[in-house]
Amino acid sequence: MPLSGGRVLLEGVDVSRLSIAERIDNGLVLVPEDRQRDGLVQTMSVGENLSLASIKAFTKGLLTSGSRERGVIDESISSVHIKTDGPRADIGSLSGGNQQKVVIGKMLATHPRVVLLDEPSRGIDIGAKAEVFKLLAEGAASQGLAVIFSTSEVGECLSIAHRIVVMSRDASRPSSADVSKEQIMAASGESVVA
């Protein structure tokens, strides 16, 4: 269904028509569903991917501060718990879960106010899922960062969300996280067979 209208306001600023760089400048970042295609540059190293979104923090004109960039990279690897042979490792050498952490670390390095995640656990194992959600809940959200994620996994909603909005067809139905799987499925127009 094509977009029919509306605005997205972040502290009074309409970010819906801004460029990606302007959205990042305004504190809004996205962790895309397809990390391989939209979240990572496959020809770049782990470190280069981590520093890409925050390049303004260590670049002035045509000059780049290598020490500042290394600081961003080292901090991201440490804070997001990326298992890697180092910043120069090929991004393709990482597991799916660690690649997802690189995408999240890259976005967190911009010091956002809001992180949008589209299917954040797609294609990663159960241990990596737990790490990603722990990172977002304990790390990011506890520091006042708004974390919004879209998922088709009802169990993820029930286990970590503070608030759930079921979007189905042309309607949305907000609720607290104190709902059952059956209520979520019913709100989406689906039925649960026992």
Query: Tokens 């809940």 correspond to what residue?
Result: 137
Which pLDDT belongs to residue 178? 74
CATH of 9-151, one of 1.10.10.60, 3.30.1960.10, 3.40.50.2300, 3.40.50.300: 3.40.50.300
Q: pLDDT-based confidence at 116, cuts 50/70/90?
A: very high
34's CB contacts (< 8 A; 6+ apart) are none
The DSSP string of 112-159 is: -SEEEEESTTTT--HHHHHHHHHIIIIIIGGGT-EEEEE-S-HHHHHH
pLDDT number for residue 194: 47
Residues in the chain: 194
Query: Quick one: pLDDT band at residue 127, thresholds 50, 70, 90?
Result: confident
Contact 28, 114 (CB under 8 A): yes
Task: Give the count of beta carbons closer than 10 Å to the beta carbon of residue 34.
Answer: 12
Digit-coded pLDDT (tens) for 140-175: 766 788 888 888 888 887 777 778 888 776 666 666
What is the model's pTM? 0.85
Buried b (16+ CB within 10 A) or exposed e, 73-86: beebbebbebebee
Q: Could you say which DSSP state residue 63 is in?
A: E
